[in-house]
Structure 1
Amino acid sequence: MPNAIKVTLSLFVVWLLFAIWHVGAGAVQISATEVVNTLLGDSSDNEFIVMGYRLPRMLVATLVGASLALSGLLVQGIVRNPLASPDILGVTTGASLAVVAVNAMFPDVSATLFPFIAMVGGGIATLVLFSLARRVLNHAAALALIGVALAALFSAGVDFLLLAFPLEINISMIWLTGSVWGRNWTHIPYLIGFLLALLPIAVVLAYKLDLFALGDETAQGLGVNINNVRLLTLCVAITLACVAVSVCGNIGFIGLIAPHAARFLLGNRHIALIPVCMLIGGSLLLSADLFARILMPPTELPAGVMTAMIGGPYFIFLLSRYKHW
């Protein structure tokens, strides 16, 4: 556990450095000293930029990345599949399809309903996935390929909606690429509320997920109710992913990369993996949004493009590694 504390503190420092850099970088460059002083309450010429625009965007990127990472950790733990994550399995694409469909057909719908609409879409996508893949849940490559096929199907549905409702295309494009642009303080209460509500459940489930790694029969023999734990874990994971999608769109691969990186650093004990995984996920999306802003100024790339550039090759590597698993 001391090693876990050291790793967690180190990753927190990495996140903090990225956070300060993220708030200071942009069309108006703000020094790290001025950023820190402004956050501590000192008035400055750039106070509005820091407090009104960049700080909430930084917090949203962190919370969304942490939520996606924790969701991926729970999914991989419950299905014992190294290739499982909400985006790879089509869950986040299903959530995106639901949000785009409602947004296209009912443009006046309140944005406060988006998390719940996304949950419905993600839940339906999960039910479809497990009904099609019930015989190959423990076969990594097969489950991943079914998920990729479903994600392609849901993406085709999104494309159809964009063509059928062209007037809404500018609003709906965010769900295709994933972006933190334009996110503000109004989105943070949703993210913090759901994360604070679901994180304690994930912590309680951590020990049971460790037992799941030993196999269903062993876990059941040690007193774990297999069906209830699996259902609860999937519900928590889907909710986290869908809330993230409802705020920032379909940002891929964080739920795949962050759990692998956390296990590489600490092993397989979930109670230690949870904070490390969330810090890695938050830092990944934060850095992706940062580089998306500063690589091609004044053009700003969606953060989802940056995560896909990293996650795509990594997924291909994992798929080749686990093709006989």
Structure 2
Amino acid sequence: MMKKIFKMKQKPHTFLLFLFLFILIIVSIVSNLKWGQAPISWRVLYEAVAYQGDSKAHLYIQTLRLPRTLTAFTVGVQLALAGLLTQLITRNPLASPHIFGINAGASLAVVLGLVAFAGLSLIQSMLLAFAGAAFGALLVWSLAGSQQKQHVQLALAGIAVHFLLSSLTEGIIILNQHSTDSMMFWLVGSVNSAGWAELRALLPFTITGLIATLLMLPSFKLLLLDDAVATGLGSRIMLVRSLGVLLVILLAGSAVAVCGPIGFLCLIVPHVARALMGGKLPLLIPFTALAGGCLLVSADFLSKFIAFPFESPVGIITAAIGGPFFIYLARRQGGKAR
């Protein structure tokens, strides 16, 4: 009887959270389209979104602000989902593609490609990013070893790899300024130059990642159990984890190739979503994805006013929020270990 009453209370709570999140998404998207360097009236904004005008103001929204906002939302969905999958695979609350060197590996590969090959296309950049992300993940796991590590120790190994690969990336940029003069802005994490081409390139990976995650939901649930128990229930733990890592590489690698290594979003959002929704994966996965998109669009909106009227990388906002958040999590997990 008590369980039924609890479930009845849980449903309105969940519905209100999703409703509030949808309202935040709409407000953040509209704000990003309305306010910026150029003043836009509400009438012009409506006409531009409805494609009912062809003036300079309409084209400005249709070709710059609209694809930039939708790309920010898509990248936020991908990074948040990649962060949640990383934490599920490793059973580590400090895990994320950014901290585990996956984003840094993708960035290093893209920068190397730009230095070695002139006129690198977006698809080629994504392929290089996938290879670099896989290299970063493999390097972290090889340093951590095959034994089960404590959360903080595994995170420290990831941070070491992250700083190593990031230092190599920055060194290559400094030594090849003639071909990478615009990469420093991208390296912090930016959606400023995102257009319709970038959005079209990202959407297949976003849709594939969401569908594959939902299809593998029963297998991911078993990862929450002990390995021996999950194996006894018929789960192929290594296969599930390998497929999960592949999804993380696809989601994080494609996002980094377009917008750079946007820091800490993939760590923050899964924790906030879990605190609000609980540990039920059928609700946690869509809530995390939507919250990631909302957060990155909101961060992109705030980044416009840091050095107004000049643009600032969105990675500044996510790093300012995520740095203290990671320190808090590391201290809490370290206290639990002791």
TM-score norm. by structure 2 comes to 0.92
1:178-199: CA deviation from partner (whole Å, max 9, x where unpaired): 1111110010111111111221
1:137-159: CA deviation from partner (whole Å, max 9, x where unpaired): 44110111110000110011112
Match of 1:110 among 103, 108, 121: 121
Distance 1:150 1:34, change over 3 A: same
Look up the SS of the partner of 1:260 in the other structure.
Answer: helix
2:7 — aligned with what? none
User: Is this contact kept in 2: 1:80–1:138, CA < 8 A?
Assistant: no
Aligned letter for 1:226? Answer: I
2:208 — aligned with what? 197
Look up the SS of the partner of 2:262 in the other structure.
Answer: coil
User: Is this contact kept in 1: 2:44–2:58, CA < 8 A?
Assistant: no
1:143 — aligned with what? 154
2:67 — aligned with what? 56
User: Is this contact kept in 2: 1:115–1:243, CA < 8 A?
Assistant: yes
User: Is this contact kept in 2: 1:174–1:248, CA < 8 A?
Assistant: no
Question: Alpha-carbon deviation of 1:135?
Answer: 4.4
Q: Does residue 25 of structure 2 align to residue 15 of structure 1?
A: yes
2:36 — aligned with what? 26
User: Is this contact kept in 1: 2:186–2:313, CA < 8 A?
Assistant: no
Match of 2:235 among 216, 224, 232: 224
Aligned letter for 2:17? Answer: V
Look up the SS of the partner of 1:322 in the other structure.
Answer: helix
Look up the SS of the partner of 2:139 in the other structure.
Answer: helix
1:40 — aligned with what? 50
User: Is this contact kept in 1: 2:89–2:244, CA < 8 A?
Assistant: yes
1:268 — aligned with what? 279
User: Is this contact kept in 2: 1:100–1:175, CA < 8 A?
Assistant: no
User: Is this contact kept in 2: 1:65–1:278, CA < 8 A?
Assistant: yes
Q: Does residue 81 of structure 2 align to residue 70 of structure 1?
A: yes
Supply the distance in 2 between the matched residues of 1:271 and 1:147 (Cα, whole angstroms).
29
Supply the distance in 1 between the matched residues of 2:119 and 2:54 (Cα, whole angstroms).
38
* Gaps in structure 2 of 5+ consecutive residues: 1-9
1:190-216: CA deviation from partner (whole Å, max 9, x where unpaired): 111111122111012223222211211
Distance 1:163 1:44, change over 3 A: closer
* Gaps in structure 1 of 5+ consecutive residues: none
Question: Alpha-carbon deviation of 1:10?
Answer: 2.0
1:243 — aligned with what? 254
Which deviates further from its counterpart, 33-42 or 217-226?
A: 33-42
Look up the SS of the partner of 1:173 in the other structure.
Answer: helix
Supply the distance in 1 between the matched residues of 2:42 and 2:331 (Cα, whole angstroms).
43
2:190 — aligned with what? 179
Residues paired across the two proteins, number: 325
Cα RMSD between the aligned structures?
1.6
Which deviates further from its counterpart, 201-210 or 237-246?
A: 201-210
User: Is this contact kept in 1: 2:48–2:59, CA < 8 A?
Assistant: no
Supply the distance in 2 between the matched residues of 1:229 and 1:199 (Cα, whole angstroms).
16
Which deviates further from its counterpart, 92-101 or 4-13?
A: 4-13
User: Is this contact kept in 2: 1:25–1:294, CA < 8 A?
Assistant: no
1:194-251: CA deviation from partner (whole Å, max 9, x where unpaired): 1112211101222322221121111112221101101001110111000000000010
Which deviates further from its counterpart, 220-229 or 85-94?
A: 220-229
Distance 1:38 1:110, change over 3 A: closer
2:288 — aligned with what? 277
User: Is this contact kept in 1: 2:47–2:58, CA < 8 A?
Assistant: no
Supply the distance in 1 between the matched residues of 2:42 and 2:315 (Cα, whole angstroms).
26
User: Is this contact kept in 2: 1:61–1:289, CA < 8 A?
Assistant: yes
Structure-to-structure mapping, 1:252-267, within 5 angstroms: 252-267=263-278
Which deviates further from its counterpart, 44-53 or 193-202?
A: 44-53
Aligned letter for 2:261? Answer: N
1:301-321: CA deviation from partner (whole Å, max 9, x where unpaired): 100111101100100111111
TM-score norm. by structure 1 comes to 0.95
Supply the distance in 1 between the matched residues of 2:93 and 2:42 (Cα, whole angstroms).
39
Look up the SS of the partner of 2:216 in the other structure.
Answer: helix
Which deviates further from its counterpart, 212-221 or 112-121?
A: 212-221
Q: Does residue 152 of structure 2 align to residue 169 of structure 1?
A: no
